[in-house]
């Protein structure tokens, strides 16, 4: 990708202090041809030291809340002045809000969309001028299986990933004339403790503890099911990180990359099953579905 074989490619990674982002930080810093700028909220920077990750000649650790324009501007300005610009942007920061549509308040909906969609778009806008002038670059957006198929009780999370994928696909056409690549990485279930960090809306939390609530069985069926699948899946953050590293090295990286076995499975399922049967099959496969709707 680099015209100068001696120049390190500058990689900007968001959400680098935990989960997949932390594994990517560990992996990329082992590669001699990259200069990584790993970012996280200021309150999370201590996690790097806890994992024995410290700054060096090819690693910067910088505070950046992706929702904060001032933070974004500061990091990008420093990169521009000292390193020339971003060659590879990895939009990894994000979070998951658990709630059915009826249980998402307006501010909760805004925060989910701002973090998973609007913030990545803001960073992409800022790095594109350098990439256009260089006539090279790679934008990697970390999506999810939920970006191609929606899951009940994860409505707004799915909406944020659908939005990210739609914009990324449009961007793929727009920037291809400048040899800028766009990739969407779709992990499915990953064996990690990340499910413990899923946030729930206020109404979701109330419904979870009220057997008379209409959505009580939705939550108390899906949450144990998702947690169990994440505990049993063989896919790990390390494996997904290695997939992303291979993607970074490709001369012609694909637009979409299924990063776990279940992402491959659901892609095939969605592609080849008749749509009406596909939705019927998934609905009948939901845990304890016969109990759903037993309250009004």
- Residue where the block lists tokens 């990739």: 183
Closest alpha carbon to 128 in 171, 191, 183: 171
Catalytic residue among 155, 157, 168, 207: 157
* 105 phi, psi to nearest 5 deg: -75, 160
Catalytic residue among 144, 155, 160, 161: 161
* 162 phi, psi to nearest 5 deg: -60, -40
Residue 157 CA to residue 107 CA, distance in Å, equals: 14
161 catalytic per annotation: yes
Q: Are 58 and 34 in contact (CB under 8 A)?
A: yes
201 catalytic per annotation: no
Q: Are 124 and 91 in contact (CB under 8 A)?
A: yes
Phi-psi sector, 135: left (phi>0), alpha (psi -120 to 50), beta? left
Phi-psi sector, 141: left (phi>0), alpha (psi -120 to 50), beta? beta
Catalytic residue among 143, 158, 183, 200: 143
Q: Which residues on neighbouring strands pair with residue 185, listed in sequence order?
A: 142, 257
Joined together, the tokens standing for residue 141 give 């957006």
Under DSSP, is residue 63 helix (H, G, I), strand (E, B) or coil?
strand
Residue 229 CA to residue 277 CA, distance in Å, equals: 23
Alpha helices in the chain (DSSP H): 19-28, 46-50, 69-83, 106-113, 119-134, 155-175, 202-208, 216-232, 237-249, 261-272, 275-285
Q: Which residues are catalytic?
A: 143, 157, 161
């Amino acid at each position: 990708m680099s015209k100068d074989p001696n120049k390190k490619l500058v990689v900007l990674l968001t959400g680098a202090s935990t989960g997949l982002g932390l594994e990517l930080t560990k992996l990329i810093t082992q590669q001699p041809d990259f200069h990584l700028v790993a970012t996280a909220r200021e309150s999370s920077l201590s996690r790097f030291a806890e994992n024995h990750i410290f700054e060096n000649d090819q690693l910067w650790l910088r505070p950046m809340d992706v929702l904060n324009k001032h933070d974004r501007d500061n990091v990008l300005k420093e990169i521009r002045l000292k390193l020339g610009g971003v060659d590879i942007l990895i939009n990894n920061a994000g979070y998951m809000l658990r709630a059915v549509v009826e249980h998402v308040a307006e501010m909760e909906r805004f925060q989910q969309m701002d973090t998973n969609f609007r913030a990545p778009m803001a960073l992409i806008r800022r790095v594109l001028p350098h990439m256009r002038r260089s006539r090279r670059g790679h934008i990697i957006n970390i999506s999810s299986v939920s970006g191609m198929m929606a899951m009940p009780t994860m409505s707004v999370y799915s909406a944020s990933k659908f939005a990210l994928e739609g914009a990324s696909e449009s961007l793929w056409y727009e920037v291809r004339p400048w040899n800028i690549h766009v990739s969407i990485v779709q992990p499915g279930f990953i064996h990690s403790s990340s499910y413990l960090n899923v946030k729930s809306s206020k109404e979701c939390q109330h419904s979870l503890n009220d057997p008379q609530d209409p959505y009580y069985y939705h939550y108390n069926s899906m949450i144990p099911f998702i947690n169990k699948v994440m505990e049993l899946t063989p896919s790990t953050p390390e494996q997904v990180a290695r997939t992303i590293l291979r993607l970074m090295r490709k001369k012609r990286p694909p637009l979409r990359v299924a990063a776990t076995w279940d992402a491959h499975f659901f892609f095939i399922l969605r592609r080849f099953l008749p749509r009406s049967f596909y939705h019927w099959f998934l609905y009948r496969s939901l845990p304890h579905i016969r109990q759903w709707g037993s309250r009004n």
